[in-house]
Structure 1
């Protein structure tokens, strides 16, 4: 089993390192921060007009890469910097330790080293509120795969810092499902492929032996329960592109304290960021849906919510 896992990792590393840029977009800056004696690195970007009005405050989106990626890969895959510029968001792309995040599964290199990624995200939020005019009531975290699972953990443990989270190509880790208790309701958007070969939509074991996740239905139900949502609006089907996928959107807009849960089941979709650049070939991840743009959906969702 360890040989299979190692071979799987080698394939993904080869694809990631060959398929993504190694430099950030022009205007995106590199920085570090000390967290508990460990130097952590990240990229950040300020929107046009930032600093022109010293009384203005800005929303912050923190986007977390998938396992074996880096912040620069997240910027590239999601095309998020152009959206953040247009919508007036500060955006941060942190780097995980050994290209991973310590989510609730407990199986990544960051988990093995007991890296405190919750403290890392908290420190970034506090720094940017103090130094970059970020509005503390408009802080959002989203991620892909391992980064999406880390976003769930952030919602569970930093409900006093974040207004909403997003998870793409990720479902709720089984280890954290029962213990998750946000300090306040946190709005959640989940985008998951029903044919994901890595994070199984039906629940179970991730990529052979990389921990357990709830099913798509159970993930949705857990967040509906956490936010005490009223019944959903009628589902909406989005199928505007001939790409072998369609998206079924289920919205729960009437939840506790104005929170919301939105679930996108990407029927026929794989382990990918809809309308984003794929770091992996289709033979590894399955289809990438073009029916929705995950980045646009997330930023619109974030803009609706404050803490």
Structure 2
């Protein structure tokens, strides 16, 4: 029976070679990072292809071996005595198994634990309005917004007797580096003013409560960076930015007021938390003078007093650095602060929102250096 031993040895080598080839192919296709979810489906397809190819080769080899064995049997049987014979097809051809089913894809984990509670109401690169907490706010979503990445937020407060839409348009936040990097929200004021001002139509704490509710509402739809929530505003809106720094330092990382109406209440009873503060103010502002005044029977703080109060609050080391901020402005920065304190003095200028220097771009460069 030397023929059968030769045939069995040949088959063992053939199948062992096929198995070795399969293992080598699978090893070659094993991804470096076995947990890489986005490669698992592709890997499964490749492995199944190799399995099918190797099994087909093994089946072909077995069939060829059986054909050769049967030929040998036929020749041997012709020389055997009557009543003696060898069996045909001693080893059946192996069956090719069906490919393994692809594993069900696992859901991608929510970025940093965030998951939307509702579909985003405003698409990338567009404006919209959202109702929340009995009021509403305008919103701008940057073109490059990606829900996989937490995105900064800028809150923009309009001036006294100004519309939210008008402030949105002339502030040019959307068209600046702010609108490129951040979701911008413009809360609608009640009575065209804000708390802390002599013109306020809201009770103390009412606007604060709405702003907190608004930020939480934005987070229902968009992945926001809670370490980079900022505020700005013009005139009385600048005063509301100061209210945000005073009473919502747990929420905001920094604020920047432009020609701010800093009535005394906007800097009274503040949280004892450091927060970045910037003011852009004209030295010839006749409505809210740089060095303070009294309006509507209420004191308007000098910008210099506000600056010193934030130096103390932010634990600054003392002393300032000055350098130009364009051809008609000077940047004054406090030294050694836990959070930045800065004023841009626009020389000879009145009560404006500036494009030279660019108020929007200047404040954004400052604020983005100051996350929580």
TM-score range, shorter chain: 0.7 to 0.9
Q: In the alignment, which residue of structure 2 is the partner of 1:21?
A: none
Corresponding residue SS for 2:135: strand
Q: In the alignment, which residue of structure 2 is the partner of 1:32?
A: 131
1:305 aligns with 2:349: no
Give the one of 208, 213, 222 matched to 2:309.
222
Corresponding residue SS for 2:201: helix
Q: In the alignment, which residue of structure 1 is the partner of 2:347?
A: 267
> What do the CA deviations read for 1:94-137 (whole angstroms, capped 9, x no partner)?
1100211112x4x22424x5571001111111122332100111
1:249 shift after superposition: 1.0
The 5 A counterparts of 1:159-198 are 159-170=249-260, 172-182=262-272, 184-198=273-287
1:253 shift after superposition: 5.0
**Is the CA contact (8 Å cut-off) linking 2:153 and 2:183 kept in structure 1?**
yes
Query: Gaps spanning 5+ residues in structure 1: where?
Result: 1-25, 241-245, 276-289
Measure the CA separation in 2 of the matches of 1:179 and 1:255: 21
**Pairwise CA RMSD:** 2.0
**Is the CA contact (8 Å cut-off) linking 1:129 and 1:135 kept in structure 2?**
no
**Is the CA contact (8 Å cut-off) linking 1:96 and 1:110 kept in structure 2?**
no
1:154 shift after superposition: 0.9
1:233 shift after superposition: 4.2
Greater gyration radius? 2
Measure the CA separation in 1 of the matches of 2:190 and 2:312: 32
**TM-aligned CA distance change 1:306 to 1:102, over 3 Å:** same
Measure the CA separation in 1 of the matches of 2:235 and 2:184: 19
Corresponding residue SS for 1:82: coil
The 5 A counterparts of 1:115-134 are 116-134=206-224
**TM-aligned CA distance change 1:84 to 1:95, over 3 Å:** farther
Q: Normalising by structure 2, what TM-score?
A: 0.63
**Is the CA contact (8 Å cut-off) linking 1:172 and 1:214 kept in structure 2?**
yes
**Is the CA contact (8 Å cut-off) linking 2:159 and 2:193 kept in structure 1?**
yes
1:43 aligns with 2:138: yes
> What do the CA deviations read for 1:201-220 (whole angstroms, capped 9, x no partner)?
221213xx263111121121
Higher relative contact order, structure no. (Cα contacts within 8 Å, ≥ 6 residues apart): 1
**Is the CA contact (8 Å cut-off) linking 2:177 and 2:360 kept in structure 1?**
no
1:74 aligns with 2:142: no
